[in-house]
Chain A
């Protein structure tokens, strides 16, 4: 049926508006652009765009995202309207209710913000960074580590917390099958 627009299930937009993890650097460091899209995009997306191994992307967090998308009504990159996370798929399939989805987003936001706050306290840095940027920072710090410290310093505990958050985000938001691969059967307590 050419030309028929896909309609989102009722309530889906409310979940997206509450969430924004795919735009604000919580889930990803970059978003894919379709071939030929560069040159036709809103200015800030254009500025953040780059090519790697023949594919086009733009860096995240999106510069148009301020708690919500501020260019929702103008033509954006295709990925902005086409990307569907695991949570939306589960909601669409009736596996989670809207209330459960909203609860997952609210709890994940709390968990992420607490990790970012922990990082600010430990590092003494004041600027706001995205969760993916935090992972990069922790990776850099770990890379400088001599490896002689036992696993009890503040950065190691923070890193463990971030890994746990990443795993939970993978299960509920990114892709459940990736979570299953990530954890492996021997690490699951499911009797």
Chain B
């Protein structure tokens, strides 16, 4: 089962619902909305999609199927940006 983890070569800061981070390898800045931030914070250890969803479902009122679709979308985006990788 594919697991995901955050790219550790980043510096980040969070205020209220927004997180801004810099990828040190790319020298680029990114901003993450509330849901992306929640996913990012969970990925300090390798997690599979269903493990990610289990944690998010404890926090957000959303059905499992919708949660899976959202998480998949966010992960694809973050992998493309180099913020998260598969392990």
Contacts and interface: CB of A to CB of B under 8 A. Distances in A.
Interface stretch (A25-33, A51-59, A64-72, A157-165): A157-165
B62 interface: no
Would you call the interface of chain A mostly helix, strand, loop, or mixed? helix
Contacts of B45: none
Interface stretch (A6-14, A36-44, A104-112, A131-139): A104-112
A189 interface: yes
Given A164-B22, A167-B20, A168-B20, A188 B33 contact: yes
B24 A160 contact: yes
A177 interface: no
Nearest to A164: B13
Contacts of B12: 164
Contact of A189 (B15, B24, B28, B74): B74
A189 B81 contact: yes
A160 B78 CA distance: 20
Interface string B36-49: 10000000000000
B72 to A, nearest CB: 9
Interface residues of A, number: 27
Interface residues of B, number: 27
B55 interface: no
Contact of A152 (B13, B15, B24): B24
A160 B73 contact: no
A164 B16 contact: no
Given A151-B27, A167-B29, A189-B78, 18 more contacts: A103-B16, A107-B14, A107-B15, A163-B22, A164-B22, A167-B20, A169-B15, A171-B18, A171-B31, A179-B31, A187-B31, A188-B31, A189-B74, A189-B81, A190-B32, A190-B33, A191-B33, A191-B35
